[in-house]
Structure 1
Amino acid sequence: MYLPSHFSAADSEKLHQLIAQYPFGTIITHGNEGLDANHLPFDLDTGKGRLGTLQAHVARDNPLWREVQPDQEVLVIFRAGDAYISPQWYPSKQEHQKQVPTWNYRVVHAHGKIRVLDDVRAVRGIVARLTRTHESFQKQPWKMTDSPKDYMDDMLRRIVGIEIEITRLVGKLKLSQDDERRDAQSAGKILIERGEEEVGSAMIPHA
């Protein structure tokens, strides 16, 4: 990933926060037919490994888990919002016309070593953690024990767990840091007014 220094984010704690906020990642692997991409919700355990550990599950019919080798390097990409930026939103454009459109965004690249967890106990744990996290907003959160045991056991047998020990975290926060303060602040406020708060709010502290 092209990463100018003014867009680089190296604070692992902040990158972990972005992953937790935007856990739906794209995992890039290299299998029998070359590069492949799968889109999965991930659980992040920041207490396991130097930079944390990601866990997810895939359908047993998905060839990913059969094609990867133990400790093979993979890449997981987490997108934390993106937005088009019009030059019309920059006050300086009205003065000298020297502005062009751009696109702002936040991404985290998690490089790591993958392991397959084809074990029902491990898979149950992954599903339980994902469920607790994403059902937490419900007044009555769904839990696995809500379903009949034989049904749940069958569902768990249909999936396989994967675990990725993160070896390198790379963050890119492109938020108009290379523009004038007034231009970045103006564009951020307009994004918020348009309902694009993910990027707009992130731009204001950098303005």
Structure 2
Amino acid sequence: MIFQGPQAYVTPSWYKTKEKTGKVVPTWNYVTVHAYGHMAVIEDRAWLLDQITALTNAMEKSRARPWSVADAPASFVEASLEQIVGLEIPIDRIEGKWKLSQNRPQADYDGVVAGLLASAGAEHSDHEAMAKLMSALDSKRSSRGRPDG
């Protein structure tokens, strides 16, 4: 299974290094996790109902009036379960990777965050999330030292 987080094209125009040396190229920032294991298909209705109920409860718990699976007619829930295929993957190995401009000098890094925030919106829906991840990483970068480029 591959789980992808936010991703964003990074233009060299956001790098301060462009003004100084011109030695920059475009890149792509991303977050991804690969989980490896043997998948099992689960068709047991009780198991599916437990999974759907737990997921619904978790997603609805912060709402003022949480919806519950029990709010729907039992016959409707049963018919809906017939359209769901359950998957279970005991994870044997997991690999995660992020490329968030962490190799860039601080001025370039800051330029990417600013550029992502300025371009965030419907056309670039991941830009704000990417900028937030980079800002969170930046606080960790400061405690370990940053590339000074």
TM-score range, shorter chain: 0.7 to 0.9
Task: Determine what percentage of the aligned residue pairs are the same residue.
Answer: 35
Distance across 2 between alignment mates of 1:115 and 1:100 = 43
Distance across 1 between alignment mates of 2:52 and 2:101 = 38
Q: Does 1:201 align with 2:132?
A: yes
Aligned to 2:49: 124
Consecutive aligned runs of 4 or more in structure 1 exceeding 3 Å deviation: none
Q: Deviations over 1:32-52 (max 9, x none)?
A: xxxxxxxxxxxxxxxxxxxxx
Report the structure, 1 or 2, having the larger helix content: 2
Q: Does 1:135 align with 2:60?
A: yes
Aligned to 1:87: 12
How many equivalent residue pairs? 132
Distance across 2 between alignment mates of 1:158 and 1:200 = 38
Distance across 2 between alignment mates of 1:158 and 1:186 = 47
Is residue 77–residue 109 contact of structure 1 (8 Å, CA) maintained in 2? yes
C-alpha displacement of 1:147: 1.0
Higher Rg of the two aligned structures: 2
C-alpha displacement of 1:134: 2.4
Is residue 119–residue 160 contact of structure 1 (8 Å, CA) maintained in 2? no
Aligned to 1:14: none
Q: Which has the higher contact order (CA 8 A, sep 6+)?
A: 2
Q: Deviations over 1:11-32 (max 9, x none)?
A: xxxxxxxxxxxxxxxxxxxxxx
Is residue 90–residue 183 contact of structure 1 (8 Å, CA) maintained in 2? yes
Q: Does 1:149 align with 2:74?
A: yes
Distance across 2 between alignment mates of 1:159 and 1:85 = 39
**TM-score normalised over the length of structure 1:** 0.59
Distance across 2 between alignment mates of 1:187 and 1:141 = 39
Alignment of 1:67-78 (within 5 A): 76-78=1-3
Q: Deviations over 1:139-189 (max 9, x none)?
A: 212211111112212222332311101111111110112222221122112
Is residue 185–residue 203 contact of structure 1 (8 Å, CA) maintained in 2? no
Aligned to 2:113: 188
What SS does the corresponding residue of 1:139 show, helix, strand or coil?
A: coil
Alignment of 1:24-43 (within 5 A): none
Aligned to 2:28: 103
**RMSD (Å), alpha carbons:** 1.6
**TM-score normalised over the length of structure 2:** 0.80
Q: Deviations over 1:78-132 (max 9, x none)?
A: 1110111111111111011111111101111111121222211100011112212
